[in-house]
Structure formats: structure tokens, C-alpha cells
């Protein structure tokens, strides 16, 4: 089954506030596979597989270092390290 180029996800956490609020919806380009620092991405957590929305801070040797804008409540690469690009589901292109 082919993957559709666009996906819609509901943000279930406060880790991206004030940029993206809990309960917001994000439109994701699933075919966008080039990630740069500053991009917001949707990915599977390497810890438990939950869907996360995070910002790319840097590209590392093994993958992407991703962080939440709200550091006080974000579980991100500071806790679980770099994430493989294969765990990224796509790049956020619109927030509502």
C-alpha cells in the first residue's frame, strides 16, 4: 500500500509550546525527506514508539538531534539521543 504524501496529526503534548499548542493539528509532508535545523518534524519516539512533534536542532553523525520548544516539559534528544531519519514520519508544513 502506497503512503499518501500528506498526513494530519493532532498534537498530544505541550512540548512545542508556544509555537504549537497541545490539541493543534499539523499537516505533514510525508514525502519530504530532507531535514534542516529549524524544521519541525513528526517522528516515532525511539523509547516507546509514540508519535512526537519536535524541532530539528542539528544533524548528527547517526541521525537528527530533535528538541521541543518547551524544554521544561519536553522529552527529546536530550534524553534519548539522536533519532534515525527513518523514524521521522515527515516534515510539518502547516499548523492549525
Q: Which position has the grid cell 531535514? A: 35
Distance CA 82, CA 72 (A): 19
Q: Where are the domains of the chain?
A: 6-95
Average pLDDT over residues 65-94: 96
- The CATH architecture that domain 6-95 belongs to is Ribbon (2.10)
The predicted structure's pLDDT at residue 40: 98
Nearest residue to 80 via CA among 48, 53, 46: 46
| CA-based max dimension of the chain | 39
Please check the confidence at residue 1 and state whether its pLDDT lies above 80. no
Please check the confidence at residue 2 and state whether its pLDDT lies above 70. no
**Are 63 and 54 spatial neighbours (Cβ–Cβ below 8 Å)?**
no
- Predicted TM-score (pTM) above 0.75: yes
Amino acid at each position: 500500500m502506497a503512503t499518501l504524501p500528506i498526513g494530519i496529526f493532532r498534537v498530544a503534548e505541550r512540548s512545542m509550546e508556544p509555537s504549537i499548542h497541545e490539541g493543534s493539528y499539523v499537516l505533514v509532508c510525508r514525502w519530504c525527506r530532507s531535514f534542516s535545523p529549524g524544521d519541525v518534524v513528526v517522528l516515532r519516539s525511539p523509547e516507546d514508539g509514540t508519535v512526537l512533534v519536535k524541532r530539528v536542532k542539528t544533524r548528527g553523525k547517526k541521525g537528527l538531534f530533535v528538541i521541543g520548544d518547551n524544554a521544561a516539559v519536553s522529552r527529546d534528544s536530550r534524553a534519548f539521543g539522536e533519532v534515525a531519519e527513518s523514524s521521522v514520519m515527515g516534515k510539518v508544513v502547516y499548523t492549525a
